[in-house]
Amino acid sequence: MSASAVHSLWTTAATDPIDKIGAPDIEYGQLSPTLIVIGAAIIGILIEAFVPRKIRYYAQVFVSVVALAAAFAAVVALAAGGYGTTKAGIAAMGAIAVDGPALFLQGTILLAGILGVFTFAERRLDPAAHGNKVDSFAAQAASVPGSDSEKAAVKAGFATTEVFPLLLFAIGGMLIFPAANDLLTLFIALEVFSLPLYLLCAVARRKRLMSQEAAVKYFLLGAFASAFTLFGIALLYGYAGSVSYATIAQVVDGTVAEITPALAGTMGNDALLLIGTAMVVMGLLFKVGAVPFHMWTPDVYQGAPTPVTGFMAAATKVAAFGALLRLLYVVLPGLRWDWRPVMWAVAIVTMLGGAIVAITQTDIKRLLAYSSIAHAGFILAGVIATSPDGVSSVLFYLGAYSFVTIGAFAVVTLVRDAGGEATHLSKWAGLGRRSPLVAAVFAVFLLAFAGIPLTSGFAGKFAVFKAAAEGGAGAIVVVGVISSAIAAFFYIRVIVLMFFSEPRPEGPTVAVPSPLTMTAIGVGVVVTLVLGVAPQYFLDLAGQAGTFVR
Amino acid sequence: MNPVNYLYLAALLFTIGATGVLIRRNAIVVFMCVELMLNACNLALVAFSRMHGNLDGQIIAFFTMVVAAAEVVVGLAIIVSLFRSRHSASVDDASLMKL
């Protein structure tokens, strides 16, 4: 008896083998920016595992900068190859869109990421501890602040070089977020960039209790918001029977090709669609920090290490607005008569709320946090426009805003006293007399935030308000201009404080940074002025990039 | 059994979780309530998957489990480090930063 005959005594061949699952087609070239960044993050983890402690810092900084630069080059190559305009398409089996807005925002996030790495890598601001240069991050994040184990870690010269791979993972998630073309990818990208940011918030060297508190608040509220997003995704999936953006859009419009009996039942149920949309949009508005989902912003911005705050304030906003634009413009244009009034209300309370509460702030980081809330409102005004100009103005605003933000927070890291950064506003009095250059640079950033002509802030605000006015949202523009005026008051107040009041004898000193932070600040100033004086080229670029692929 | 009943259950669990996040004061319990919300999402996804007769919802449920596990890793690390430095995991005690 042969082996197979024996075998057949107690087994039988399956008559119809299960349909083989085809291998997916992945367009590696079009996805290369994200793949490079995530790959470098994994290399960063291997560096943590295998490279001697002394050279880890150099290896991590090198890998991070090279990877981000290579990813940016890949984005530029894709854009030059026409993937932003004529060859825009959907990659990775429908999961990721490669189109103008995605490439524009990915480029912005990568540049912000490079500047972020520079500010993360700064080691000249704090005095050296036991002969070892120290950065803004705890020697050993696991040890209790002030404990013996922390003192031992500082003495041994430990450093939390894990922040660089964490930053790369966050950037990887942010690159996918505005390009996500189905709801599952959206949710996974949201978590991939949020989780590293929660950790980065917790590892400040100075004021670690505040830093841990910020991380707990950010984590609990962030997880709460992503649970809402996920339930909204479940409801939208229930409504349309698919998570693909294109299919949901067709079901919303009623132009879907094949209607199964189940779909016929659910697509008549507007409650699923409206509640699902509301919950997903709520999660995205949480990430951009729009009122009434802004409660985490001031505490997290204040408590997190300042380099992390700067990066987070810039890049999270870019990624989240990209995802919000794609969701509203690609998936839900058929629903715009429902979401526009809600977005009107959110934009108005965000602009006014951020600007008014900022007036009462006495801490520079909290002030910038409320200012970022007000800016989220200005950007929402462009989102409401529902026109090609609306998309391109939002893209331009995000690009301009992210450089100003990183530069401004980099300046905040320079002003220091014995306890670390001197963030209380009263300590900034007379800074312009003591270090005119730093104060002047910060004044440029504040004027850009305020939207004064010849800075990028003016060009960006003008673009979004023009788009909003042409899109029929005149009332938003009026409120926007009023809240800009309110916001200008507290920006100017800081400038007056810096230049026209007497320096206090026990006031802070301005640390001399290494070329890393100088580059971050310098690039911020140059971009702010260039986009302010000659914005047309970049407005055209954003205009060309303003078409979503469906 | 009509799958719509599972949706009602999912909505109920989600509401219980959301209420818990808002009223409980211990960070660990708040976090458990978030996990309950994620599981409610899973139930809704699987029920919808059954209604529509496609597998998308079940696949998302697997991803959600992985995300929830990753969230536990990060969240517990943060909450435990806060507890070790303050000997309290109450979210009311964490109030160094006020207006």
How many domains, in total, are found in chain B?
Answer: 1
Q: Is the pLDDT of residue B98 over 80?
A: no
**Residue B61 in contact with partner chain A when CB distance is under 8 A:** no
Q: Select the residue of A142, A184, A241 nearest B54 (Cβ to Cβ).
A: A241
Smallest Cα distance from B98 to chain A, Å: 8
What does the radius of gyration of chain B's CA atoms come to, in whole angstroms?
17
- Asked if the structure places residue B97 within a domain, the reply is no
- Asked if the structure places residue A445 within a domain, the reply is yes
**Residue B93 in contact with partner chain A when CB distance is under 8 A:** no
Q: Select the residue of B53, B56, B82 nearest A243 (Cβ to Cβ).
A: B56
Smallest Cα distance from A231 to chain B, Å: 5
> Phi and psi at residue A165, in whole multiples of 5°?
-60, -35
Smallest Cα distance from B84 to chain A, Å: 6
- Asked if the structure places residue B30 within a domain, the reply is yes
Closest Cα to residue A364, out of A313, A407, A308, A301?
Answer: A301
Smallest Cα distance from A154 to chain B, Å: 17
Q: Which residues of A touch B38 (CB under 8 A)?
A: 227, 230
ipTM above 0.90, yes or no: yes
Q: Select the residue of B47, B56, B97 nearest A302 (Cβ to Cβ).
A: B97
Tokens of A454: 């010849």
* Cα(A400)–Cα(A455) distance, integer angstroms: 9
CB A136 within 8 A of CB A207: no
pLDDT at A15 (0 to 100): 62
Whether residues A231 and B14 touch (CB distance < 8 A) is answered with yes
Whether residues B64 and A216 touch (CB distance < 8 A) is answered with no
Whether residues B38 and A227 touch (CB distance < 8 A) is answered with yes
Residue B3: other Cβ atoms inside 10 A: 15
* Cα(A396)–Cα(A540) distance, integer angstroms: 9
Cα angle vertex B97, ends B96, B99, to 5°? 135
Cα angle vertex B70, ends B66, B71, to 5°? 115
Q: Where are the beta strands (DSSP E) in A63-194?
A: 89-91, 96-98
pLDDT at A13 (0 to 100): 66
Q: Where are the beta strands (DSSP E) in A244-366?
A: none
Residue B45 structural domain? 4-86
pLDDT below 70 — which residues of chain A? Answer: 1-8, 12-19
Pairing of strands A415-417, A89-91: unpaired
Query: Which CATH number do you get for residue B38?
Result: 1.10.287.3510
CB A147 within 8 A of CB A353: no
Output the CA torsion sign for A289, A393, A101, A64.
negative
- Asked if the structure places residue A452 within a domain, the reply is yes
Whether residues B63 and A303 touch (CB distance < 8 A) is answered with no
CB A36 within 8 A of CB A67: yes
Region B63-78: what's the mean pLDDT?
Answer: 96
- Asked if the structure places residue B99 within a domain, the reply is no
Q: Which residues of B touch A204 (CB under 8 A)?
A: none
- Asked if the structure places residue A6 within a domain, the reply is no
pLDDT higher for B98 or B65? B65
Smallest Cα distance from B90 to chain A, Å: 11
* Cα(A190)–Cα(A194) distance, integer angstroms: 6
- Asked if the structure places residue B98 within a domain, the reply is no
Helices (DSSP H) in chain B: which residue ranges?
4-23, 27-52, 56-86
Nearest CA in chain B to A369: B99
**Residue B99 in contact with partner chain A when CB distance is under 8 A:** yes
Q: Which residues of B touch A235 (CB under 8 A)?
A: 44
Q: Select the residue of A214, A220, A302 nearest B27 (Cβ to Cβ).
A: A220
- Asked if the structure places residue A196 within a domain, the reply is yes
For helices A53-80 and A32-50, the axis angle rounded to 10 degrees is 170
Q: Which residues of B touch A191 (CB under 8 A)?
A: 67, 70-71
Nearest CA in chain A to B41: A231
Tokens of A239: 């409504």
**A-B C-beta contacts closer than 8 Å:** 141
Tokens of B86: 């303050």
Residue A230 structural domain? 26-544
Whether residues A260 and B53 touch (CB distance < 8 A) is answered with yes
**Residue B55 in contact with partner chain A when CB distance is under 8 A:** no
Question: Which residues have a Cβ under 8 Å from the Cβ of B80 and sit 6 or more positions away?
Answer: none
Q: Is the pLDDT of residue B84 over 60?
A: yes
Whether residues B51 and A243 touch (CB distance < 8 A) is answered with no
- Asked if the structure places residue A158 within a domain, the reply is yes
What single letter denotes the amino acid at residue B74?
A: V
Tokens of A112: 């912000």
Whether residues A215 and B75 touch (CB distance < 8 A) is answered with no
- Asked if the structure places residue A15 within a domain, the reply is no
Q: Select the residue of A219, A237, A263 nearest B75 (Cβ to Cβ).
A: A219
* Cα(A288)–Cα(A178) distance, integer angstroms: 13
- Asked if the structure places residue B91 within a domain, the reply is no
- Asked if the structure places residue A20 within a domain, the reply is no
Whether residues B84 and A144 touch (CB distance < 8 A) is answered with yes
Nearest CA in chain B to A198: B74
Q: Which residues of A touch B67 (CB under 8 A)?
A: 187-188, 191
CB A326 within 8 A of CB A127: no
- Asked if the structure places residue B66 within a domain, the reply is yes
**Residue B54 in contact with partner chain A when CB distance is under 8 A:** yes
How many domains, in total, are found in chain A?
Answer: 1
User: How much is the pTM?
Assistant: 0.95
Interface test with B, best of A195, A220, A229, A299 (most B CBs within 10 A): A220
